[in-house]
Amino acid sequence: MKIAINTLPITPNIGGPKTYLVNLIKHLAEIDKKNIYYLFVSPINRLLFKRAGYNFKEVILPIYSDNRLLRVLYEQLLIPLYVRKYRIDILFC
């Protein structure tokens, strides 16, 4: 199965959502070698998820999390196109 995880709202600053998502991806990489994961990342948060497993693929989207309006538009209009392009079965946001 192909699973995409939207990490665009996450910034390198300390915070609960960042801690949650970093730990979720870390533990998924430890327990799941069967599914393929696509991480939708931005240029400023991509280093947070570098240690994911071999079945994790990074899709860098040219949007910065600090511009909330553009990020929301990108999530609503362009992420569905990436989901179709990569034939994603599940999108986790």
pLDDT in tens, the chain (93 residues): 999 999 988 888 878 899 999 999 999 999 999 999 999 998 888 888 877 889 999 999 887 766 778 888 888 998 999 999 999 999 999
Q: Are 35 and 55 in contact (CB under 8 A)?
A: yes
| Strands 56-60 and 36-41, sheet pairing | parallel
Three-class SS of residue 81? helix
CA atoms within 13 A on the CB side of 28: 21
Classify the phi-psi angles of 60: left when phi > 0, otherwise alpha if psi is within -120 to 50, otherwise beta: beta
Give the model's pLDDT for residue 65.
64
